[in-house]
Every structure is written in C-alpha cells, then in structure tokens.
Amino acid sequence: MPITRLSSKGQVVLPKPVRDALGLEPGDELWVEVEEGAIRIVPRKKRRLEEVLARLPGHEPRWRFGSAEALLEAEREEARKRWGR
C-alpha cells in the first residue's frame, strides 16, 4: 500500500501508481468524505449529462433536476450506491 504525507498546507499527493490505476489527471475532481474515522476519496469523473442520466433509474429527462445542484446531488447519490455506503 503506497504511503503519502500531509503537507503544511493540508495537501496530499496521490502516489503515481494510484493516479495511474484510476486514470486521474491534473485538474480532476475528487469526492472527499470522512467515514468511521477514515478518509475516502472517490474520483468524480467528468461525464456528459446524458451519461449521468443514463445511469439513473428510469433515465429521467434532464429537466427533472431543475438545477446543477440537484444534478450534482443525484450524482453523489449514485456514488454512494455504487460504493455501498
């Protein structure tokens, strides 16, 4: 298991094998959550809206969400379901 350090600015460098395994590139966004005393970091893949909607139950039309915030919350819920938490 790779080890990294927390900088004085609170930054963490993900080791190259981890970045490579997940296909992460500079500028990619990551979900960061604290669960039961552990840090969980999940890549937030940049996807087209149609790809996100296609994975949601019933493939509901885009207008259902009403706002970018509502779509973002739907994507968060999808990530929670995928990771089982």
pLDDT of residue 14: 93
pLDDT one-digit tens code per residue, 18-76: 888 888 888 888 888 898 899 988 888 765 555 666 666 665 555 566 666 777 788 88
Question: Residue written as tokens 């919350």?
Answer: 73
Report the chain's C-alpha Rg in angstroms. 15
Read off the pTM: 0.49
Residue 58 three-state SS: helix
